[in-house]
Amino acid sequence: MSSPVIAQAGKVADPSSQTSLLLLLLKMRTFVALILVFAFFAVAAPNFLTGANMLIISKHVALNALLAIGMTFVIVSGGIDLSVGSIVGLCAMVAGWLVLYGIDLQIGWSLQLNTLEICLIVAVVGILIGLINGLLITKLNVAPFIATLGTLYVARGAALLFSDGRTFPNLAGNPEYGSDTFKLIGSGTLLGFPLSVWIMVVVAITAAYLATRTPLGRHIYAVGGNERGAALSGVNVDRIKIFVYMFSGFCAALVGLIISSQLQASHPATGETFELNAIAAAVLGGTSMSGGRGRIGGTIVGAFVIGILADGLIMMGVSSFWQTVIKGLVIIAAVVVDQVQQKLQARVVLQSQA
Amino acid sequence: MTGAHPIGLTIRSGSKIYPGTQALKNVDFDLRMGAVNVLVGENGAGKSTLMKVIAGVERLNAGTITLDGKPVVFADRTEAARHGVGIVFQELNLFPNLTVAENIFVGHEKTVGGVHIDRSAQRAVAAALMKRLEQDIDPDMPLGNLRIGQQQIVEIAKALAEDARILILDEPTSALSAAEVEVLFRVIGDLKRQGVGIVYISHRLEELIRIGDYITVLRDGVITGARSMEGVDVPWIVANMIGSASKEFPKTEHHALGDEIFRVEDVSLPSPAGGYVVDHMSLSVRSGEIVGLYGLMGAGRSELLECIMAQHPASTGRLFIAGKRVTEGSVSGRIRRGLALIPEDRKRDGLVQIMSIRENLTLSSLGDFTRIFHLSLKAEAAKAAEFVKRMAIKIASLEHPVSSLSGGNQQKVVIGKALMTRPRILLMDEPSRGIDIGAKAEIFRTMRKLAADGLGILFVTSDLEEVLALSDRILVMANGRLTGDFPAGAAAAEVISAATPNLNKVKSS
């Protein structure tokens, strides 16, 4: 979408070729940041470049990236979803309950489920909470920040109620019911990579396709760019908004499944503050908080920058307090650079038209 | 007369250029003190721009402003206010969440020691102003609770509170009742006696003739007439507003009109303040026909189009396309049935500014390039390129953001987007607003061509010249009702009088 702009500017005027090079660097800034962070830790942190470490980092990143993909759609549509961390927690508890107890039919019998059925039910739970978010925002006109703040509390409370605040331990499953494969979601590998990373890759590719090559994706950008204009162009704004929250809920449900499977236990506090990391990854990847702008690829790179930064600093023995400070500074720097790029880009486009 | 009314402020060879359009061209303007200087012209003629220059909101690109014989440059609104220039804007600039008194003093609060707001002093002054304006409005009332007309009174009070020596009133009466207009005129009379120079902008010619002392007529950024009000009548104003036969309108190609393609029956939109914004409107458009819908601001024309385009759930009435009832309640459903709207406010309603030209053009017709759910970017780009060529949109690349285009080219993108849905009826709300003459002419030619191809066009305009020159039939709306139905070639005076049915009321009171 942006490369013709640069080519144009370069052709039109020589003095601006410097500008366009700068612009290119700015556009790729998250990627540049990723390379810099990676190179820094490769030198500074021992064992950083080992295969085992790479796998650990990619497993960490996959979780945040999944949430950030859902978050990107929400933010692009002009909203925000604060409830994803709580949905992760609730979905983890639902998964744990289903593995341990199945569904109690209240007649002395219980319905035991296999892994696929458990995954489907958990996904439906996540999607339903997303649907509630969407309905609150579109039909009842609640501001997205408030609506999802509300579901943040409700879902977290529900997660605690599930177990009275206790942890569901030993989610090993039962081969008789076909749920012993549950632990594979978190621990299984395919071609040497963890399953969770594959899930992230599949979701990312699907989301990127959705964003760029379907009318649905285009409509999400249009709603975020100008809601009234989109509505008058025949876009069903409410349906688009409900979809993005449902998709975000689905992504959160996947994360809940992966975490409870990885730990083989469900803790009701799972996923606390995950929503903030997801927002950070999206913003770092160039998603505009005012809507209409953002790309899945950028978000993935943003999630990797945050993940590598966190794990690299731990390996270097930097205190977690400093880690938090550094993460904050990186996010602020990302947004400042974004502003500079926007200004420069507008200038280049005007120049190429003159 | 000149002796009685000294010139307070003058502009010499003032020019103001906006991207894509020149709003003022070498304007010479004299503002006389102790008199009402009326300013008249059609929408987009440059009246508001000229006043914004005097009030310091905009700066001239060329030319000089002289105040009391000394050249001045107003950097911003505050500096102009310090020189005694007050302005009541056409759009209300008020805060519904603050009280009436707080609104009146916003930006120049009465304080004790610069920090503590002296509420009681503010309240007292606000109450005195309300008394002077003969309004029974409590200064502590939140502004949002007032009627629009009362809010406009508060806006006027705000300007009075600044003790301006020059007071600009831009369409102050558009939302006022006849009684409130009388009060305003009395206050204007007071101010005149105190030596305040008043600039008065209005579309209501009868008001201008009644209270004006000097008149200046603007057309397309050029002053076409300036004189004292003595001997001025409506025909003189209209002649100067419209000028001699204009070349920008394409000659009406005579083609046979088809059958009725679109009919509106009994469409109403209740107003939140009681009564109707659109009051049981019925009209019909034949295929190949251009119907111009003329009226003053607030006549309910845009609202009628919005009702047709499913923007007001509270509206009632029936629509028929080629004789078949339209039952679809969604915008996309109505687009599928063959309706398309070019909204009045391009920036707010017509375009997604941060999206590319291609994405804006195809936004309403993505389904045409989609198989199941896969969007063919190649087919989309080809279609967008075809429309860029067909509409003669001047662009460097389809991928540039649409916000980088001039107003005229942006409007062509909006029209292209509507046409891509293959409409049978095109609804156009002020299609020529805010674009330069060249682009206007092109858009008018396009409208003619579309009509010749059998489209039915219903367009709303506040531009008398436009409605007279372009329409096959002219409808006039006032107060939400249809007040006139004229064939092509109707006399300007008749159309104006149909648009101002309140004229007699104001005169008699």
Range in A120-134, A332-346, B468-482 with the lowest mean pLDDT: A332-346
Best of A232, A238, A343 to substitute, by most chain B Cβ atoms within 10 angstroms, is A232
pLDDT for A12 equals: 40
Fold adopted by B7-242: Rossmann fold (3.40.50)
- Taking residue A165's Cβ as centre, other Cβ atoms within 10 Å add up to 11
CATH 3.40.50.300 location in chain B: 7-242, 258-338+423-498
Is B396 in CB contact (< 8 Å) with chain A? yes
Q: Which of A39-53, A140-154, B80-94, B465-479 has the highest mean pLDDT?
A: A140-154
Which B residues in the span 268-327 are in contact with A, Cβ-Cβ below 8 Å?
A: 309, 311
Question: In Å, how far are A69, A144, A219, B405 from A135, measured between CA atoms?
Answer: 21, 10, 18, 37
Mean of pLDDT values over A233-252: 96
Contacts of A293 in chain B (CB under 8 A): 354
Residues of B in contact with A213 (CB under 8 A): 374-375, 377
Residue in A213, A222, A236 closest to B374 by CB: A213
B243 pLDDT higher than 70: no
Q: How confident is the model at residue B499 (pLDDT cuts 50, 70, 90)?
A: confident
- Report whether pLDDT(B2) > 50: no
Indicate the pLDDT class of residue B155, thresholds 50, 70 and 90.
confident
Q: Whose CA is closest to B447, among B463, B460, B459?
A: B459
> How high is the pLDDT of residue B251?
60
What is the model's pLDDT at position B437?
66
DSSP state of B311: -
How much is the pLDDT for B249? 65
Which residues neighbour B41 within 8 Å (Cβ) at sequence distance 6 or greater?
A: B47, B217, B218, B219, B241
A295 touches chain B (CB under 8 A): no
Q: Where are any strands of DSSP class E within chain A?
A: 103-104, 110-111, 189-190, 193-194
Position B21 pLDDT exceeds 80: no
Chain B nearest C-alpha distance from A215 (Å) = 6
Is B331 part of the contact surface with chain A (CB cutoff 8 Å)? Answer: yes
Q: Do B352 and A225 touch (CB under 8 A)?
A: yes
Interhelix angle for A296-315 vs A29-44, to 10°?
20
Asked if pLDDT for residue B504 goes beyond 60, the answer is no
Size of interface A-B (CB pairs under 8 A): 94
Output the six-digit token pair for B158: 């705000």
Beta carbons of B397 and A4 less than 8 Å apart: yes
* CA proximity to A2, closest of B67, B222, B399, B248: B399
DSSP 8-state class, residue B144? G
Q: Is the dihedral of CA A263, A266, A269, A271 positive or negative?
A: positive
- Alpha helices (H) along B162-259: 178-193, 205-211, 234-242
Q: Is B354 on the interface with A (CB under 8 A)?
A: yes
Q: Is the separation of the CB atoms in B294 and B462 below 8 Å?
A: yes
CATH number for the domain harbouring residue A200: 1.10.3470
Least confident of A191-195, B384-388, B494-498: B494-498
pLDDT of B20 reads: 56
A1 touches B: beta carbon within 8 Å: yes
More confident residue, B432 or A279: A279
Q: What is the distance between the alpha carbons of residues A81 and A275, in angstroms, rounded to a whole number?
A: 8
Residue A62 belongs to domain spanning: 29-347
The pLDDT, as a whole number, for residue A352 is 60
The answer, yes or no, to whether residue A7 has pLDDT greater than 50, is no
Determine, for residues B397 and A229 on separate chains, whether the beta-carbon distance falls below 8 Å.
no
pLDDT at residue number A17: 67
Nearest CB partner across the interface for A5, out of B366, B377, B399: B399
CA distance B18 to chain A (A): 15
Question: If you average pLDDT over residues A306-323, what whole number do you get?
Answer: 88
Between B364, B377, B400, which is nearest A234 by CB? B364
Closest CA in chain B for residue A292? B354
Total domains, chain A? 1
User: Cβ of A348 under 8 Å from any chain B Cβ?
Assistant: no
Task: Tell me which CATH code domain B258-338+423-498 carries.
Answer: 3.40.50.300
Residue A125 lies in a domain: yes
**Mean pLDDT, residues B79-86 taken together:** 86
The mean pLDDT value for A170-188 works out to 82
Cβ atoms of B54 and B211 closer than 8 Å: no
pLDDT of residue A351: 63
Whether the CB-CB separation of A181 and A119 falls below 8 Å is answered with: no
Q: Is residue A267 part of a domain?
A: yes
Average pLDDT over residues B463-468: 83
Report whether A31 contacts A301 (CB < 8 A): yes
Question: Cβ A215–B375 below 8 Å, yes or no?
Answer: yes
- CA–CA distance, B12 with A207 (Å, rounded to integer): 60
- The per-residue pLDDT for A206 is 96
Give the mean pLDDT of chain B: 85
pLDDT, tens digit, for every residue of A301-312?
999 999 998 888
Per-residue pLDDT at B507 exceeds 50:
no
How much is the pLDDT for B433?
Answer: 76
Q: Provide the pLDDT for residue A349.
A: 66
Distance from CA of A66 to the nearest CA of B (A): 23
Residue B352: its pLDDT value, please?
A: 92
- With helix as H, strand as E and coil as C, how does B428-471 read? EECCCCCCCHHHHHHHHHHHHHHHHCCCEEEEEECCHHHHHHHC
Q: For residue range B200-209, what is the model confidence (pLDDT) as tens digits? A: 988 777 788 8
Residue A200 has pLDDT above 80, yes or no: yes
User: How large a percentage of chain B has pLDDT more than 70?
Assistant: 93
A13 within domain boundaries: no
| Domain membership flag for residue A12 | no
Q: Does residue A10 fall inside a structural domain? A: no
Partners of residue B414 in chain A, C-beta under 8 Å:
none
For residue B376, give the chain A residue with the closest CA.
A213
- Closest chain A C-alpha to B407 CA, distance in angstroms: 14
Q: Looking at per-residue confidence, does B156 or A346 come out higher? A: B156
Flag if B370 and A235 touch (Cβ within 8 Å).
no
Measured between CA atoms, how close is B312 to chain A, in angstroms?
12
Residue B317: the pLDDT is 92
**Which pLDDT score is estimated for A10?**
38
- Residue B175: how many other CB atoms lie within 10 Å: 18
Do B396 and A232 count as a contact with CB atoms less than 8 A apart?
no
User: What does the pLDDT look like over A36-50, one tens digit per residue?
Assistant: 888 998 888 888 888
Q: How far apart are CA A167 and CA A185, in angstroms?
A: 19
Mean pLDDT of A108-127: 89
Closest to A229 (Cβ–Cβ): which among B330, B349, B404? B349
| Residue A14, pLDDT score | 46
**Section B369-398 average pLDDT:** 90
Q: Which of B335, B377, B399 sits opposite A234 (nearest CB)?
A: B335
Checking if the pLDDT of A133 tops 90, the result is yes
The residue in chain A having the minimum alpha-carbon distance to the alpha carbon of residue B353 is A225
Q: What is the pLDDT of residues A269-300, one digit of tens each?
A: 999 999 999 999 999 998 988 899 999 999 99
Q: Amino acid letter at B287?
A: S
**A290 touching B (Cβ < 8 Å):** no
